[in-house]
Structure 1
Amino acid sequence: MREFITNEWFTVFTLLGLLSVVVAKTLNSLRFSDFIYVIGNSKYLKIYSRDQNFIDTFDGFLFFNFTLSLSVFIFYAYSTFVSPLQFDLITFLKMSFAIATILIIKVLVERLIASLFEIDELIDSYLFQKTTFKNYSGLVLLIANLFLIYTNNFTTIILSVTIGLVGLINLIGFYLTFKTHQNSINLNLFYFLLYLCALEIGPYVLLYKVFRDYNV
């Protein structure tokens, strides 16, 4: 009965994630089509990075899916590789909220620091590309969660392959950013390295603490 209840809630979260992706596609079907082929095709990054808004509805819905899908995936990954977790709805929602909050605050701080270092254009482009590949990872996590929820076999394989794919997707994104802005990065190398150390490592230490506390 406990497993049934857990899967039932995870089905709800997965459907909400899927719904948010559908809404994003409905809002801008052309942009979504370009987004799907962003791996290996720089068209999306070149076109839409010029039209960034501080609050982007399209990215917002995809980010909502990313947050929910990541939370479900983390539950399965932690239960499989570390120790089994007992599902609790309130605690799970708190964890999802913490993930979303930390990532949003991280972006806001990144923009502030970029302004202080006067590298706004570089960081804005970097953030757009990073957000794009993060949201793309959300699609991969969404599909992986469907297999995790509705199949009892090959859980370890599914988790391992998904982690590898998500890592590869984000490495590709970082490489494309570095390649596109290599000259600007070289001119501001010290500030860019300082930025990476402070804002690409620190927040994930906080996320680890959230996951550790969640297990408690």
Structure 2
Amino acid sequence: MNKCEVKSNSRLKKEIYFTVPLPKKIKVDFSQRLIESTDWATYLLLGCFVIFALAKYYYPKRFQEFSMLPLTNQYFFVHGKNDELNHPFNMMLFVVQIICVSIFVFLLFQVFNPSEVQNNKWLYIQICTAYNVFVLIKFSLEKIVANIFSMDAVINNYLYQKLSYRNFLGILFFAGNLFFLYIYPPNASSLIAFGGILLTLNAIALLYSYKKNGKLILSNFFYFILYLCALEISPYIILYKSFV
């Protein structure tokens, strides 16, 4: 009886070993992964969200009409005639426009010129300043031209419409920046497609403004062409050449 137990125990203790041939050298490549912090962009976009909230809180009816701008022109009929360009509502959304357009341009630099982003820590501030100065200089020149030709009322109405449309595009830039920073990493094709869509919308808005003032444009067609070349086309060509 004891012998049987010993035999069974000896059988249980038997172990089977398998040998698996391994290569002598295992080469493992560790690629460095650069993770760039977007905390500053998060704070800026959060600030834009706060500005939206303040604009809606202090000007609820105006904000509602502004949000319907692509569908109806009621915003211009109610606010476009008597309101000044420097109305607080316009200025709040203009700040959002500057911040969001500058972030989008920064993303373009990240994709097309990453070395500049890594070597220049003040790049975003430079972009933001350049865009702000560009818009203000262009606006001042348009006001001067309006004063020279005694067309202040017409040009002010046109500038008001253009500012309103571009402030609305600033909201679209805000949404696009959220998408590229936190949902879908930006690449060349997606940034170009998004930027092209917004440029097309901007062109449509300008054409609508020209159509609305069609009679005035036809009666002063030469001055309109001069204005179009000097203040609407050439500044963007100069801006493009300065970056490229």
| TM > 0.5 | yes
CA deviations on 1:15-48 (whole Å, 9 max, x unpaired) are 1222222222222111111111111311112221
1:54, distance to aligned residue in structure 2 (A): 4.4
Match status 1:58 vs 2:89:
yes
The residue that corresponds to 1:15 in the other structure is: 46
Structure 2 residue aligned with 1:47: 78
Aligned residues: percent identity?
Answer: 28
What's the secondary structure of 2:80's corresponding residue? helix
Q: Please tell me whether the aligned partners of residues 17 and 66 of structure 1 are also in contact (alpha carbons under 8 angstroms).
A: no
Q: Which moved more, 1:63-72 or 1:149-158?
A: 149-158
Q: Which has the higher contact order (CA 8 A, sep 6+)?
A: 1
Larger mean CA deviation between 49-58 and 25-34 belongs to 49-58
Q: If the length of structure 2 is used for normalisation, what is the TM-score?
A: 0.78
88-97 or 98-107, which deviates more = 88-97
Give the AA of the match of 2:113: S
The answer to whether the Cα contact below 8 Å between 2:107 and 2:186 also exists between their aligned partners in 1 is: no
Which position in structure 1 is the counterpart of 2:24? none
**Could you say which residue in structure 1 is the equivalent of 2:202?**
170
Q: Return the index of the structure with the highest Cα Rg.
A: 2
Which residue among 56, 68, 79 is the counterpart of 1:25? 56
Alpha-carbon separation, structure 2, partners of 1:98 and 1:164: 21
Q: Are residue 147 (structure 1) and residue 179 (structure 2) matched?
A: yes
Structure 2 match to 1:37: 68
Structure 1: 5+ residue stretches without partners: none
Contact 1:98 1:210 in 2 (8 A): no
Q: Is the 8 A contact 1:144 1:158 kept in 2?
A: no
CA drift of 1:96 comes to 0.3
Aligned-partner Cα distance in 1 for 2:55–2:242: 29
Task: Give, as a single letter, the amino acid of the residue that structure 2 aligns with 1:112.
Answer: I
- Residues paired across the two proteins, number: 210
State the distance in 1 between where 2:168 and 2:70 align: 9
Question: For 2:46 and 2:242, how far apart are their aligned partners in 1?
Answer: 24
* Structure 2 gap ranges (5+): 1-32
Deviates more, 1:29-38 or 1:158-167: 158-167
Structure 1 pair 54/139, CA: closer, same or farther in 2 (3 Å)?
Answer: closer
Q: Secondary structure at the match of 1:51?
A: coil
